[in-house]
Amino acid sequence: MDIKHDHRYAINLNVRGIQPSATLRINELSNQLRAEGRDIIKLGLGQSPFPVPERVVEALKEHAHEKDYLPVKGLKGLREAISGYINRNERMRSTWEDVLIGPGSKELLFMLQLAYYGDLLIPRPSWVSYAPQARIIGRSVHWLPTHAENNWQLTAEELDIVCRDDPSRPRILILNYPSNPTGCTYTDDQLLAIANVARKYKIILLSDEIYGEVHFEGRHKSIARYYPEGTIISTGMSKWLGAGGWRLGTFIFPPELRPLQDAMAIIASETFTSTAAPIQHAAITAFNGGDDINEYLKQSRRILKVVGEYMHRRLQEMNAVVQKPQGAFYLFPDFSAYREKLARHDIKTSQSFCTALLASTGVAILPSSDFGFTPDHLGARLAFVDFDGGEALKLAGGDYADIELGDDFVQQACPRLAKAMDKMEQWLNSL
């Protein structure tokens, strides 16, 4: 049915001027073009290519009958499992009471901003949803400058400069590493320096570590080790366990921030009540881990590392300026070398760059303007996830179990990624 706007109603929207989430928009457009028969290579949405491990799927089946509402903060057994998981990984001493469960970490991030009155500090570039969430709530966003030479990472000095003018202002800093969109991560020294500045200004530090488990070397470290009293760790099952659509995320709070956790639980109680019961039960299996999950993670990391290296090299060969990823499944190339050639085709923004690339080659990527850059910054984010993760895991753990992965593996397991690079290269050369 065609619904027409009825002018008798003054619809004063809270989300005026805000577009649907950039990643979901590109996904829908790609699906639409696919439905029209175009061959679209989807490097837009950052969804894990890997299937959920079998034992976790079995656990979900076993708990399909769980039908009761669960406690607002989450199932006790799951909160215990997550606390144990974070204590093992980070040598922390959290307890189950420090854990909050929600339907995706995205929702928890939104509730955090709703519950805490303060400015939001985010490094540029940052994940597409932090700033729009702040805007929906009416909070001010302060983008922190970073530089390509510095892997687009926040430095302690830049943070200090921003805070020094108004030292006691309430602030939340979101740090996300390994990073979406760059794939880069921080060294221990960098984390320590940032932690010291955060402590100096009593900043609440939301450490978005949703890609922590897909650090290619398995060496992710939480900044909570250096700033335990002010850091909330955010994670979930979406990126390392292939369970994005299951919608489960978690925050681990320090006891010092318990009032904030309680305030978020009040919001949860008045909005979604609790996260889906069968999913919470199944998540216990995931966070308790085991040899099978360790093996799954080992192979996922091997695959993502070799694919990331391959894509990085191909982009460098195209004269893009791009950092080598150390985790996650993203690359953030800058195509400024083509600025003049692109301008001859009236392509002057990252948005028009991505639109033209999609129209000419069928390769879908996201413009850097979605990550906080001015429209004329000619960057983009590629999510290297358009491959069959199940098949890739089988190959990596089978034929390639004892062989170092290289280009031949990428060609075999991820042919569409190789094709995307070929198409992009041809298009750039044809400008």
Ligand X SMILES: Cc1ncc(COP(=O)(O)O)c(C=O)c1O
Separation of alpha carbons 90 and 93, rounded Å: 9
Residue 253 near ligand X by CB under 6 A: no
Residue 155 near ligand X by CB under 6 A: no
Residue 180 near ligand X by CB under 6 A: yes
Q: Please, what is the minimum distance in Å from the beta carbon of residue 123 to ligand X? A: 12
Query: With 0-12 CB in 10 A as exposed, 13-18 as middle and 19+ as buried, what is 34?
Result: middle
Residue 105 near ligand X by CB under 6 A: yes
Q: Please, what is the minimum distance in Å from the beta carbon of residue 241 to ligand X? A: 11
- DSSP 8-state symbol, 32: H
Residue 305 near ligand X by CB under 6 A: no
Q: Please, what is the minimum distance in Å from the beta carbon of residue 368 to ligand X? A: 15
Nearer to ligand X by Cβ, of 367 and 400: the residue is: 367
Look-up of token digits 């602030």: 171
Q: What are phi and psi of 239, to 5 degrees?
A: -105, -30
Rule CB under 6 A: choose which of 49, 249, 327, 389 binds ligand X.
249
Residue 49 near ligand X by CB under 6 A: no
Rule CB under 6 A: choose which of 156, 210, 392, 393 binds ligand X.
210
Residue 133 near ligand X by CB under 6 A: no
| CB 117, CB 170: distance < 8 Å | yes
Residue 46 near ligand X by CB under 6 A: yes
Q: What are phi and psi of 166, to 5 degrees?
A: -140, 75
Q: What contacts 395, CB < 8 A, 6 or more positions away?
A: 409, 412, 413
Rule CB under 6 A: choose which of 127, 226, 251, 353 binds ligand X.
127
Chain centroid to CA 31? 21
| CB 47, CB 389: distance < 8 Å | no
Sign (positive or negative) of CA dihedral 147, 198, 372, 103 = positive
- Taking CB under 6 A as the binding criterion, the range among 27-35, 62-70, 104-112, 365-373 that sits at the site for ligand X is 104-112
Sign (positive or negative) of CA dihedral 90, 96, 102, 107 = negative
Map the footprint of ligand X across residues 361-420, applying CB under 6 A.
none
Nearer to ligand X by Cβ, of 242 and 249: the residue is: 249
Where do contacts with ligand X occur on this chain (CB under 6 A)? 46, 104-106, 127, 176, 180, 208, 210, 236, 238, 244, 249
